[in-house]
Amino acid sequence: MGRIKKIVLERELDERLRWLISIRWFAATGVFFVILGTRYLLKIHLELLPLFAGTLALLIYNTVFYYINRRLILRRGQDSWFPMATRSANLQISIDLFLLAYFIHFAGGLENPFIFYFIFHMVIASMLLSNTAAYFQASLAVLLLTGIGVLECTGVLMHHHLEGFIPHTSCLVNPTYNIGVLIIASSTLYITVFLTTTIVNRLRKGERSILLATERLAQQDRTKSEYVKKVSHDIQSSLSTIQTCLQVVLDGTTGNIPDKSREMIARAEKRSELLIKFVKDLLNLSSIRARSKMDMQVISLKNTLERLVDQNLILAREKNQSISMHINQHHWVRVNTFAIEELVMNLIANAIRYTPPGGRITVQTESNNDSEVLVSVADTGIGIPEKELPNIFQDFYRAKNARTTEKSGTGLGLSIAKQIVESHHGRIWAESRLGQGSTFYFTLPKAQTN
Ligand code: ADP
């Protein structure tokens, strides 16, 4: 349970920290336009300079936290990540509260209805932080509001009246009004934290039990794959022995055999070869599924793909096909080299098998965005019927036209490919036009090279 809880909390905090930073950009833009609108459209008197300075401060510290968060992400998975991320979240919300108090002070103090915007911070704090920390932030907000009220009313801080919004005397000469606002605002903040934390705690509990069940299923799946792996391994060694024996007989080493028997043995040998290929694929797939961790290396995709295309040149030439590459840049990825070779080999082998003589195969890479590389293997082959396209990554699935064109096939190559890509946190999909060709795409996360 400890590990699951950690995973849920880490993922949640990471997502919400990013979300918090992204909504702050909108908040800064919103504040800017509200200041302008209030001043020039509603003609309410505002101290523009300190308010714009506050907006600038908001932009600056959000930029700082954006970069801090990017550095923090590199540490995800390490023990130090969670306490550091929690500290950052606490600090960010406290600074937000101070800034909101600053805005409120320069725009009317407790007479400004925007004091109720503290509620948003309470909701965010309850979602992002522990219950205790959320109540701490609520107390800080109450303290700040009380500070504004007391310091402005006692004249320690200057009161910046919202001229044109409410009559001048309303709050300063009326302590009952101030106390009333403070009591209502404070209780609203505490009640908000109480309600939000109650809901969030319930949701977290639900999410945790789902994750626990998922983790258990994954464990069972790995046990099953481990079993299939062992069985296929045993079958494969027996089959290889059978095939070797048949080959020895066919070679004539054991003496002459009648033509009829030779034909039957040759057929048996061919069948055992297909069976070996099938069991090998099964073994491969279950090995990948049974593995929870892989050895990873940082490699250049360009070099690996060039090597794999070279290895397939002869096969393509035999079918009078051209095979070309469009890779003009090194993309560094952190992968298990054997698995990635297997994946690309499967896709190129399929492209060659399902493309008639004279066709074209193209391997390409491009930067999908800052964090991903997109690899494509395109062919001008038989294509895949539109209706069958969603099924081709399922175990043992073979499209109807493929079964007619190519009798021998296990329907496991793309399952292996999908498994490999997903274990590298990438995506794989295909686009195809029947009779015109197919393109298989997959993405891999770029390696952090700094
Ligand atoms: P196999 O090729 O052994 O049948 P795969 O899992 O590699 O198994 O592929 C599954 C199915 O996807 C194939 O049977 C075929 O219908 C379709 N397919 C895969 N690659 C291509 C391709 N390049 N062109 C057309 N169809 C393809």
pLDDT in tens, 281-305: 888 888 888 776 778 889 999 999 9
| pLDDT, mean over the chain | 89
Residue 224 is predicted with a pLDDT of 87
Statement: residue 134 has pLDDT above 90:
yes
* pLDDT of 173 over the 60 cut: no
User: If you average pLDDT over residues 59-78, what whole number do you get?
Assistant: 87
CA atoms lying within 13 Å on the CB side of residue 430 = 28
Is residue 383's pLDDT more than 70?
yes
Q: What mean pLDDT do residues 86-96 have? A: 94
In the chain, residues under CATH classification 3.30.565.10 are 297-445
| Contact residues of ligand 1, CB 6 A cut-off | 346, 350-351, 354, 379, 381-384, 392, 397-399, 402, 409-415, 438
Exposed / middle / buried, residue 383 (Cβ in 10 Å: 0-12, 13-18, 19+):
buried
397 Cα: distance to centroid of ligand 1 (angstroms): 8
Least confident of 73-87, 163-177, 298-312: 163-177
Atom of ligand 1 nearest to the CA of 355: 24
- C-alpha 201/C-alpha 130 separation (Å) is 10
- pLDDT score, position 99: 96
Which of 350, 406, 416, 418 is the best mutation target for the ligand 1 pocket, counting ligand atoms within 8 Å of the beta carbon and taking the most? 350
Average pLDDT for residues 63-78, to the nearest whole number? 84
Residue 450 above 60 pLDDT? no
For 194-205, the pLDDT digits (tens) are 999 999 999 888
Grade residue 329 by pLDDT with cuts at 50, 70 and 90.
confident
Atom number, ligand 1, closest to the C-alpha of residue 383: 25
pLDDT at 2: 59
Q: What is the pLDDT of residues 212-250, one digit of tens each?
A: 888 888 888 888 888 888 888 889 899 999 999 999 999
| 297-445: CATH architecture | 2-Layer Sandwich (3.30)
Mean pLDDT over 177-188 rounds to: 90
Distance 74 CA to ligand 1 centre (A): 38
Q: Residue 78 above 90 pLDDT?
A: no
Ligand 1, atom nearest to 351 Cα: 23
Atom of ligand 1 nearest to the CA of 403: 14
How far is it, in rounded angstroms, from Cα 124 to Cα 94? Answer: 11
Give yes or no for a contact between 437 and 381, defined as CB atoms under 8 angstroms apart. yes
Name the pTM for this structure: 0.60
Q: Reply yes or no on whether the pLDDT at 48 is more than 60.
A: yes
What is the number of the ligand 1 atom nearest to the C-alpha of 388?
Answer: 16
Q: What pLDDT is recorded for position 1?
A: 46
pLDDT band, very low/low/confident/very high, at 177 (cuts 50, 70, 90): confident
Quick one: CA dihedral 251, 257, 259, 264, positive or negative?
A: negative
Task: Tell me the average pLDDT across 125-135.
Answer: 92
The pLDDT, as a whole number, for residue 252 is 85
Looking at residues 168-184, what average pLDDT do you find? Answer: 74
How does residue 81 score in pLDDT terms, banded at 50, 70 and 90?
A: confident
Task: Give residue 411 CA to ligand 1 midpoint distance, Å.
Answer: 7
What's the gap in Å between 297 CA and the centre of ligand 1? 29
Taking residues 40-54, report their average pLDDT.
91
Q: Which atom of ligand 1 is nearest to the CA of 402?
A: 16
| 177 C-alpha to ligand 1 centroid (Å) | 76
Pick the residue whose CA is nearest to atom 21 on ligand 1: 350
Is a pLDDT exceeding 80 seen at residue 172? Answer: no
Per-residue pLDDT at 27 exceeds 50: yes
- Is the model's pLDDT at 5 over the cut of 70? no
